Amino acid sequence: MPKSSDNLNWEAIELFAMDVDGVLTDGSLYVSSDGSEAKRFSIVDGLGLVMLREAGVKVAWISGRGSEATNRRAEELKIDYVIQGRKDKASALADLLKEMNLGPEQAVYMGDDTIDTEAIELAAIGVAVPEAQPEPLQAANYVTSRPGGNGAVREVCNHILAARSQ
């Protein structure tokens, strides 16, 4: 059951940071016999991120593992910040906030696994997808109704965009 988005300060958000695998994707990884990797990204989520960027909200992807597929999708969407190979997501988020001269009250962080928990707790709005591990689910103050890789990111984008248009 999703935790409510009511009483969350969506209008203060200047940075939407998120994990990649399990949030922007369904967590599946396709590996070919030649070792190349492919990921499935949602077009709906991508358009939401483009609309956020056009509205002046910064977007960051923070992944615990490196992936060329992630790089290619980030380039296509013109993602502001792509950090890969960082398992300490809270530290990466704190570094980004400092670099941008923003406070945690201006950030959303969205994740699905235990290594996302501290970043979820650091951000003013911590978001988890419904199939997340127990720790990030417990830490989140909002749980999306849509699953990772299937519109969950767009759901958060829509909350931020709606708050900015009021």
| Domain contains 81 | yes
Q: Helix, strand, coil proportions of the chain in percent (round to 5)?
A: 40, 15, 40
- How far apart, in whole angstroms, are the C-alpha atoms of residue 50 and residue 61? 14
The pLDDT score that the predictor gives to residue 4 is: 64
- Cβ contacts of residue 5 below 8 Å, gap of 6+? 142, 159
Residues of the chain with pLDDT under 50: 1-2
The pLDDT score that the predictor gives to residue 1 is: 41
- How far apart, in whole angstroms, are the C-alpha atoms of residue 18 and residue 84? 12
Furthest CA-CA distance within the chain:
51
* CATH assignment at residue 107: 3.40.50.1000
- Cβ contacts of residue 67 below 8 Å, gap of 6+? 20, 37, 39, 84
For the segment 84-116, what is each residue's pLDDT rounded down to a tens digit?
999 999 999 999 999 999 999 999 999 999 999
| Domain contains 68 | yes
The CB density around residue 124, as the number of other CB atoms within 10 Å, is 17
Three-state DSSP class for residue 17: strand
Asked if 104 and 124 touch (Cβ cutoff 8 Å), the reply is yes
| Domain contains 99 | yes
The pLDDT score that the predictor gives to residue 83 is: 97
- Cβ contacts of residue 54 below 8 Å, gap of 6+? none
| Domain contains 3 | no
Report the number of distinct structural domains present in the chain. 1
| Domain contains 2 | no
Question: Domain range spanning residue 128?
Answer: 10-164
The pLDDT score that the predictor gives to residue 50 is: 97
| Domain contains 4 | no
| Domain contains 5 | no
| Domain contains 111 | yes
Three-state DSSP class for residue 55: coil
| CA dist 65 → 5, 7, 59, 87, 127 (Å) | 30, 34, 18, 8, 20
